[in-house]
């Protein structure tokens, strides 16, 4: 199982939210490139980057920062947040980002993800952010009428190879990940599943790895030093 340390970006800074609440934002660094370098020094080979401004309002406001992180670290970078058009996809991929994550656009634009996959293949992933059993959109600020599992099955039918699933209720809370959710997803779907939200201990990493998941994203636990990336990578193998 691959380990993806997370860098959430707002105004060019590395930040973290609690349960997707923009009013509960903690700034961890004014230099995201330094954060990425630290993760690389611990053995990370891939990063999960989220443009929180883009997620809420669309667009690519942190594109320059993301490109700087990619170029300085040399790590595999997947990026989500506000990517709601083919132009936005092209902007990231042409700038050297390895994979983009579609969220709101995949949930609200019929077959948008399928068109993106047809053009870019495995460089496209889809993210489902689960709130009360439904897919949340627009930076988790709105709940769509689409049930999360229905959305996941639709994405699989559209040929999407990679699913990044976040349990919003666990995100940033340091209370453990939702193993039961990921067990159900891995049983019902034939996609590469990356777990996100609440990974706060090496036991969480062990449990997710035992499910045969493709990857796990670690956010706040990296910054509070509850988990070392090096130890997580070792446990995940």
**DSSP secondary structure, 130-187, as one string:** EETTEEEETTTTEEEEEEHHHHHHHHHHTT--EEEEEETTTTTS-S---HHHHHHHHH
Whether the per-residue pLDDT at 139 is higher than 70: the answer is no
- Selected residue with higher pLDDT from 133 and 16: 16
Verify whether residue 129 is a known catalytic residue. yes
Q: Is the pTM of this model over 0.75?
A: yes
Q: Is the pLDDT of residue 140 over 50?
A: no
* Active-site residue, 8 included: yes
The structural domains of the chain, ordered by start, are: 2-236 (3.20.20.70)
Q: Which of 51, 129, 158, 204 is catalytic?
A: 129
Catalytic residue among 8, 51, 167, 204: 8
- Angstrom distances, CA of residue 198 to CA of 17, 169, 189: 12, 8, 22
Reduced to 3 states, what is the DSSP secondary structure of residue 25?
A: strand
Q: 14-41 pLDDT, tens per residue? A: 998 877 788 889 999 999 999 999 999 9
User: If you average pLDDT over every residue of the chain, what do you get?
Assistant: 91
**Which of 186, 182, 172, 226 is closest to 203 using CA atoms?**
226
Place 94 in a pLDDT band, splitting at 50, 70 and 90: very high
- Is the predicted pLDDT of residue 117 greater than 50, yes or no? yes
Contact 148, 130 (CB under 8 A): yes
């Amino acid at each position: 199982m691959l380990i993806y340390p997370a860098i959430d970006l707002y105004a060019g800074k590395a930040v973290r939210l609690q349960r997707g609440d923009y009013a509960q934002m903690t700034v961890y660094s004014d230099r995201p490139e330094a954060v990425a370098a630290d993760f690389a020094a611990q053995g990370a080979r891939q990063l999960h980057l989220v443009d929180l401004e883009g997620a809420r309002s669309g667009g690519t406001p942190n594109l320059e920062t993301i490109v700087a992180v990619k170029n300085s670290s040399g790590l595999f970078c997947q990026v989500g947040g506000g990517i709601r058009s083919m132009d936005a996809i092209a902007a990231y991929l042409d700038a050297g980002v390895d994979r983009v994550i579609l969220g709101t656009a995949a949930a609200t634009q019929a077959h948008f993800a399928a068109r993106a996959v047809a053009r870019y293949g495995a460089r496209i992933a889809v993210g489902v952010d689960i709130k009360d059993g439904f897919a949340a959109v627009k930076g988790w600020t709105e709940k769509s009428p689409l049930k999360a599992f229905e959305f996941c099955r639709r994405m699989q039918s559209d040929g999407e190879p990679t699913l990044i699933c976040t349990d919003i209720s666990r995100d940033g809370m340091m209370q453990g990940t939702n193993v039961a959710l990921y067990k159900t997803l891995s049983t019902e779907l034939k996609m590469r599943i990356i777990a996100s939200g609440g990974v706060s201990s090496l036991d969480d990493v062990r449990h997710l790895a035992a499910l045969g998941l493709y990857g796990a994203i670690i956010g706040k636990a990296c910054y509070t030093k509850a988990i070392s990336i090096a130890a997580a990578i070792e446990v995940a193998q």
